Structure formats: structure tokens, C-alpha cells
């Protein structure tokens, strides 16, 4: 059976995204502007799935949820619950380490207006599926937002009707894996209080109990 790679930093399968990254790189020569690799423990039992790199966050720094507002609550929470050695992720070359945790995205490349097309989500799903297939039994997958939730279902060939997205919802996946949902920790969600710190911490209480 052909084994697919969990990541390809040279991937240009999505022409729209590849061209967009080229244009962004011209305007911002110091930015990473490539598919952003997963970050954290390769043997982690908690994997966190985001949507896609942010323009001035992961696309700039080369590390998921690093350098923009979306990472503030995430890394503070990871530190609080023992998954990170520090409460802030500054750059890809700082000394932050994740413990029993890895962060990745449903789409590895920056999309225009932070909105990947359905075909781009499907194309990139091969990498997410390969990564999830390496998880140990009874591991936990945290999906930040509905796009990440649907990407996880696709990776396992599951039907949407069987696992509906909902904040703090839990779903049993193949191999005993547990999918936990949360609203995305984006600036919009945190500033409008759709997602509060207490709500996000409650999700991690569920995760800690499962692990």
C-alpha cells in the first residue's frame, strides 16, 4: 500500500494557493510563504487541527498559530494545562516546546481572505489523513472550527450526519480516537465572546480527562 507523506513543504498542487503565496512573498520577502509544517511532539496523543495559516501569523513565522491573535488564547491554554513549556509562541526558532501535543492545519497554505476553496480542502486532506493515521489508539483530536471538524471526518471517511460539530462536543472515531470540537480561537470569536477563555478551558478539561 502506498504511504502518503504527512507533509510536503514543496507542495504546489493547488494552483490558486501556490500563486497567491508567490505574490505574498514578493510583497513580503521575509515571510515564510510556504506550506506550514505541523509543530510539536511527533508522538503526541493530542493533535490540534486549525483551519489554515494566517497571513501575518503562521504564514509569516512558519509555525501554526504563531504571530497573530488566534494563537494568544491557544498557547496560553496549552501552557496552563501542561502541553506547552511557555504561554507564548513568538517565532519558529524560539525555545518553546509542546508536550504530548502537536498543532497542524486542515489546509497547510495561506488562502486568500483566509477562505480555502472546497477543492483545496479536499486536496490537502491527504496530508491530514496521513498524519491522523499515525496517532496512537485513544488519542484526542481537537478540531478548532467546523472546517477542521469536517476535514477530520473526511480523513476517516465518515459521514457528517454521524458527527455534527458543536462546541465541546465529543465523537468516537476509528481506532478509539476521540474527536473534540471547539469554536476557533480567532480574533472575531474571542472579541465577540462567542468563545470565552472559560469556554476554551472547559474543552481542555475534557481533553485532560480523556488523556
CA count, 13 A, side-chain hemisphere, 22:
9
Radius of gyration of the chain from its Cα atoms, rounded to whole angstroms: 16
Assess contact for 47 and 139: CB atoms under 8 A: yes
Output the pLDDT for position 6.
84
Angle at 104 between CA 146 and CA 11, to 5 degrees: 105
| Per-residue model confidence (pLDDT) at position 2 | 47
Q: 98: helix, coil or strand? A: strand
Whether the predicted model's global pTM rises above the 0.75 cut:
yes
The pLDDT of residue 3: 60
**Structural domains of the chain, with CATH:** 15-210 (3.40.470.10)
Per-10-residue mean pLDDT of the chain, 211 residues long, equals: 76 97 98 97 96 97 96 98 97 96 98 96 96 93 98 94 93 92 96 97 97 92
Amino acid at each position: 500500500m502506498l504511504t502518503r507523506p504527512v507533509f510536503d513543504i514543496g507542495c504546489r498542487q493547488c494552483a490558486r494557493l501556490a500563486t497567491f503565496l508567490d505574490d505574498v512573498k514578493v510583497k513580503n520577502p521575509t515571510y515564510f510563504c510556504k506550506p506550514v509544517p505541523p509543530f510539536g511532539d511527533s508522538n503526541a496523543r493530542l493533535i490540534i487541527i486549525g483551519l489554515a495559516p494566517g497571513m501575518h501569523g503562521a504564514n509569516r513565522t512558519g509555525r501554526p498559530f504563531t504571530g497573530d491573535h488566534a494563537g494568544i488564547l491557544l498557547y496560553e491554554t496549552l501552557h496552563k494545562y501542561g502541553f506547552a513549556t511557555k504561554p507564548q509562541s513568538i517565532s519558529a526558532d524560539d525555545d518553546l516546546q509542546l508536550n504530548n501535543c502537536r498543532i497542524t492545519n486542515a489546509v497547510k497554505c495561506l488562502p486568500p481572505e483566509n477562505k480555502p476553496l472546497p477543492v483545496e480542502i479536499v486536496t490537502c486532506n491527504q496530508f491530514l489523513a496521513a498524519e491522523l493515521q499515525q496517532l496512537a489508539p485513544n488519542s484526542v483530536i481537537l478540531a478548532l472550527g467546523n472546517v477542521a471538524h469536517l476535514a477530520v471526518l473526511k480523513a476517516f471517511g465518515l459521514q457528517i450526519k454521524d458527527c455534527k460539530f458543536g462546541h465541546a462536543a465529543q465523537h468516537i472515531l476509528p481506532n478509539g480516537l476521540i474527536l473534540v470540537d471547539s469554536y476557533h480561537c480567532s480574533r472575531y470569536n474571542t472579541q465577540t465572546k462567542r468563545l470565552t477563555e472559560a469556554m476554551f478551558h472547559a474543552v481542555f478539561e475534557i481533553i485532560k480527562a480523556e488523556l
